[in-house]
Structure formats: structure tokens, C-alpha cells
């Protein structure tokens, strides 16, 4: 079995608001969108922002829009890139959960919730390489 994630799908209660957050916050452009779903071509996988009711119908589980025990990570190339991105995400409709600071395991990171509460960790981690295509490789 390939060690492979094909798509991360997050539920949205307002696709217009979500699109603004990802466009103005991260500067990302959709590869496809309609009234129900927005796809972003990421580093070898897809990010899907799916109307919450449609996602709940698709996964056959309802009542699910709550902050959850999960986080998405976006690593940047230098320590100085972390705080400006967190500030930009907050300006684009996000909520800062943790202002950037240095965790015990090293690096520098903060957390921002998107408009639906999905947590994004914005991190600089010198031990994890990121190539020109955005592919991330583990390191200690």
C-alpha cells in the first residue's frame, strides 16, 4: 500500500468566505471550483474545500463541524517567514490560536484557525527539507 494521502477535505459553511481566506491568506489559486467544492492542486495531493452539508452527506456522518483533534501544517523556508504569514492569515479572516513561538523540539511555529475552525500550523523547521515542488521530507 502506498504511503499516500490523496486529498485533505475540509468542510466549509461558507465557500465564498473560505475562498477569500485561502486566496488572501496563503495566495493560493483553485484548480477547479463550482458552487459545492473548491479544489487546490497541492504538492502531490489535493486540498478540497467542500460545502459542509455535502461533505456530511458524502461521508455519511452529520453534526461534524467542530474544532477537532487535527491540524494541517504549512512549513515555510525561514524563521522570518512565520509571523508575516500568520498575520496575513488573521487579516484574511483567520483566528490566531497560538502566536508564533519556539517549541521545545526546535524550530518556530504558531497556529491559526481558518474561518470554519480548521487549524493550520505555520512552521519553520530546518530539519525538514522542502524541495522546489513543495515536497517535504522528514529529518531530525
| Residues across the chain | 140
d(CA 138, CA 140): 7
Count the residues of the shown chain that bind its own copies, applying the rule CB under 8 A.
67
Residues 29-68: x/- map of binding to its own copies (CB under 8 A)?
x-xx------xxxxxxxxx----x--xx-xxxx-xxxxxx
Residues 10-29: x/- map of binding to its own copies (CB under 8 A)?
xxx-------------xxxx
d(CA 102, CA 133): 27
Sign, CA dihedral 90-94-99-103, equals: negative
Residue 66's contacts (CB-CB under 8 Å, 6 or more residues apart) are: 117
79 touching its own copies, by CB under 8 A: no
Chain residues that interact with its own copies, rule: CB under 8 A? 1-12, 26-29, 31-32, 39-47, 52, 55-56, 58-61, 63-75, 85, 97-98, 103, 111, 113, 116, 118-119, 121, 123, 128, 130, 133-138, 140
Amino acid at each position: 500500500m502506498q504511503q499516500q494521502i490523496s486529498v485533505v477535505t475540509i468542510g466549509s459553511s461558507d465557500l465564498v468566505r473560505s475562498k477569500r481566506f485561502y486566496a488572501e491568506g496563503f495566495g493560493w489559486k483553485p484548480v477547479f471550483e463550482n458552487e459545492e467544492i473548491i479544489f487546490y492542486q497541492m504538492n502531490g495531493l489535493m486540498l478540497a474545500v467542500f460545502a459542509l452539508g455535502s461533505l456530511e452527506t458524502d461521508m455519511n456522518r452529520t453534526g461534524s463541524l467542530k474544532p477537532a483533534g487535527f491540524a494541517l501544517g504549512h512549513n515555510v523556508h525561514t524563521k522570518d517567514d512565520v509571523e508575516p504569514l500568520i498575520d496575513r492569515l488573521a487579516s484574511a479572516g483567520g483566528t490566531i490560536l497560538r502566536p508564533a513561538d519556539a517549541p521545545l523540539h526546535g524550530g518556530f511555529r504558531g497556529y491559526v484557525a481558518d474561518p470554519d475552525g480548521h487549524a493550520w500550523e505555520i512552521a519553520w523547521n530546518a530539519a525538514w527539507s522542502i524541495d522546489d515542488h513543495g515536497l517535504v521530507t522528514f529529518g531530525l
